[in-house]
Amino acid sequence: MSFAITLNNIGGPEVLQWEAIHVGQPGPEQIRLRHTAIGLNFIDIYHRTGLYTQPLPFVPGVEAAGVIEAIGSNVANLKIGDRVAYALGIGAYSEERLIAADRVVKIPDGIGDADAAAIMLKGMTAQYLLRRVHRVAKDDTILVHAAAGGVGLIMCQWASHLGATVIGTVSTEAKAELARANGCTHVITTHNSDFVARVKEITGGKGLPVVYDAVGRDTFHKSLACLKPVGIMVLFGQASGAVEPIDPNILQRGSLFLTRPTLGTYIASRSDLEETANELFNVVASGAVKIAVKQRYRLRDAGFAHRDLEARKTIGSTVLDVNG
């Protein structure tokens, strides 16, 4: 008997139910995976509340690590017992699952399952944001909102490793200390500071080539005001809510660029998935990016994890333990 967190209705954390499921055997292009650790992400809340719709009922969660227990007849380059991880495969809040073999990657020796589960979505997001949406260069000065969050901590370390000066925003002094310890040269606590004014001060009024904004509604227009001419606004999340419709003419001020990218687009092909994951694993293995798994919950207690994440009580990455 295998168990999973299931959603039969959208709503608050209370709709997350611990139920028995039938997994079955893998199809020709699939593997059966026994999860060892599962990553918690804000997109899980979007799925639970219906902001991002999924057919009901479903098992939430998009990121996990585990061990292969069975393989389909057409699967090559993987074997039973391999440790693998994935991101964007809905159904992660489960003890076991079936998943397409071409959507998982092998976990290198030296990276534990919990770290792999914590970095696949967040780390590959950091990779495509820093290396592809805007290729951060040495001596760039960039702004990262929610710098003490799971994606933020990885981005700040990685960008600093690339030689950039990182400005990070956080909501509390405790998170400010964490951001400073993870690559932020300048940290702005938003409840008592105007981040636009501070950015102008730090840059001598020039503004920034790029702003990375996962907060959304509360920061969007001020983030645009931080850009220098032909700068790019990268809106990759909406933790504070969706941005209201805008008049594209606001981008005329400085001939600004605006993008709303998603990881799925950047890892759609197998080659892109492998390249993205490999660059992430390499930068973690080198020690340039350290993974901060700051909270752990039992899988069956996912509702408590959702409450803490929504209340912004978490820092760094959070993992759901399958065997806890």
Task: Give the DSSP letter string of 130-178.
Answer: IIIIS---TT-EEEESSTTBHHHHHHHHHHHHTT-EEEEEESSHHHHHH
Tell me, what's the pLDDT at 45? 94
Q: What's the pLDDT tens digit per position in 99-126?
A: 999 999 999 999 999 999 999 999 999 9
Q: Please list the residues that pair with 5 across neighbouring strands.
A: 18
In sequence order, what are the residues at sequence separation of 6 or more whose Cβ sits closer than 8 angstroms to the Cβ of residue 175?
147, 148, 315
Task: Give the DSSP letter string of 282-312.
Answer: HHHHTTSS---EEEEEEGGGHHHHHHHHHTT
Domain ranges in the chain with CATH number 3.40.50.720: 138-260
Q: The whole model's pTM is what? A: 0.92
* Degrees, nearest 5: CA angle 157-277-306: 70
Instruction: Indicate the helix (H) or strand (E) that contains 202.
Output: helix 195-202
Cα distances (Å, whole numbers) of residue 165 to 138, 139, 172, 254, 306:
8, 7, 21, 22, 32
State in words which class domain 138-260 has: alpha beta
Name residues of the chain where pLDDT drops below 50. Answer: none
Tell me, what's the pLDDT at 87? 97
Alpha-carbon span 313 to 90, nearest angstrom: 25
Domain ranges in the chain with CATH number 3.90.180.10: 2-120+269-321
Q: What's the pLDDT tens digit per position in 2-56?
A: 999 999 999 999 999 999 999 999 999 999 999 999 999 989 999 999 989 999 9
| C-alpha neighbours within 13 Å on the C-beta side of residue 108 | 14
According to CATH, the superfamily of the domain at 2-120+269-321 is Medium-chain alcohol dehydrogenases, catalytic domain (3.90.180.10)
